[in-house]
Amino acid sequence: MARRGKKKGRPISGWVVFDKPKGMGSTEAVSKIKWLFNAEKAGHAGTLDPLASGMLPIALGEATKTVPYVMDGAKVYRFTVAWGEERSTDDLEGGVTQSSSRRPAKDDILALLPRYTGIIQQIPPQFSAIKIGGERAYDLAREGESVEIPAREVEIGRLDLVETPDDTHAIFEVECGKGTYVRSLARDMGRDLGCYGHIADLRRVEVAPFTPEDLVTLEELEAAWPPLPPKQTTEEGENVVMPVRDFGALDALVIDTGAALDCMPQVALSDEQAHRIRMGNPVILRGRDAPVEADEACVTTRGRLLAIGYVEQGQFKPKRVFTGG
C-alpha cells in the first residue's frame, strides 16, 4: 500500500477576508494567500472576476468546511454601468456587439429599478462559468459559439441608484443572493432603457457575514509576512538551529472559523460534552437559550468552533466535526 505523503504547510485555520485587487483572478488570489500563510489547505467562497475588485473571503484549513455557508450569504456590490454599448462579455473586456446614441434620464433609471428587485429571472452572461452540455459557457464563447443559456431565478434584496456622474455612466449598489450576475443586470437594464450598457467598474463590498471592516489588502498581508531569520551557526560556521519564521503578525489578520456561522444557533459545550461530540455522539443541550429543534446549529468549546449539526428534541447531533476545536 502506498504511503500517504506528509501534508505540506502549517495547519492554520480561519478566514482571510481578502480585498482582491483588479487584474488578479480568484484562483490566483487563493494561491497567493496559501503561500503567504504557508497553509496546508485554502479555498475561496465565491468567484470574483479578474476585472472586479473587493471582498473575496478565503478559507484556510478547517475553515474550508464552512465555505458553503458563506457562499449562501447575501452579497453587496457597488458597480458602474457605461451606457451606449453592449459588449460580448458584458464588461470592458469584450468587443462591442450593440451600440446606441441614446442616453437614459435619471428618472427613467429610477422608474426601472423596481423591476429588478425581489425574485427575478436572469440569463447569465455568455462568458460565465455556467455549464452547458458539460462544458463551461465561457469556453464555448471563446470558441465562437453562441449558446442558449436558460434563465434562472435569483433574488435581489435591493438595487439603488447611487450617482449619475455624467449622462454616459450610472453608479449602483445591489444586495443580492447566490448566483446573481451583476454583468447581466447591466446588460438587461441597458436593453430595457433602449440604450444598451455594460459594466465599467465592479467592486464587491460585502459577503455576509463579513463586513468591510474585515477586509485586508495584499499590501497589509505582505507587510506582515515574516522574513526567514538568519541561520545560527557555531564559531566554526556549522549550522546549529534551522531558522523558523514567526507568523504571529500574519496570523493576527485571520478571522476565527466560527465567524462564518453567525447565521445559525451557537451553543457552548462543557469539556465532557465536547469529548462526546469528538467521538461522534450526540449531547443534550442545556441552558435557557439552547434550541430544542434546529435544522442547522453549531457548538463551541473553550470559545472555538467544534462541530456543525442539527438539534432534535433538545439533542445536538454532529454532522461535521472540526479538529481544531
- What are the structural domain ranges in the chain? 14-73+209-224, 79-197, 264-321
Intrachain domains 14-73+209-224 and 264-321 with the same fold:
no
Domain 79-197: CATH class, spelled out: alpha beta
Q: Domain 14-73+209-224, CATH 3.30.1050.10 — does that match? A: no
Each of the 325 residues of the chain gets a pLDDT tens digit; together they read: 455 556 688 999 999 999 999 999 999 999 999 999 999 999 999 888 888 999 999 999 999 999 999 999 899 999 999 999 999 889 998 899 999 999 999 999 999 999 999 999 998 887 556 665 566 655 655 655 667 778 889 999 999 999 999 999 999 999 999 889 999 999 999 999 999 999 999 999 999 999 999 999 999 999 998 877 666 665 565 655 556 778 889 999 999 999 999 888 889 999 999 999 999 999 999 888 888 999 999 999 988 899 999 999 999 999 999 986 4
State the Cα torsion 20-23-28-29 to the nearest 10°.
-10
Q: How many residues are present in the chain? A: 325
Distance (Å, rounded) from C-alpha 171 to C-alpha 319?
44
CA distance 147 to 243: 56
Whole-angstrom Cα distance, residue 18 to residue 24?
A: 12
- Which residue is it, cell 478566514? 15
- Report the 10 Å Cβ neighbour count for 68: 11
Q: pTM of this prediction?
A: 0.86
**3-class DSSP state of 200:** strand
Domain spanning 264-321: CATH superfamily? PUA domain (2.30.130.10)
By CB neighbour count within 10 A (0-12 exposed, 13-18 middle, 19+ buried), where does 266 fall?
middle
Catalytic residue positions, numbered: 49
β-partners of residue 316 are 283, 311
CA distance 171 to 141: 28
- CA atoms of 80 and 306, how far apart (whole Å): 42
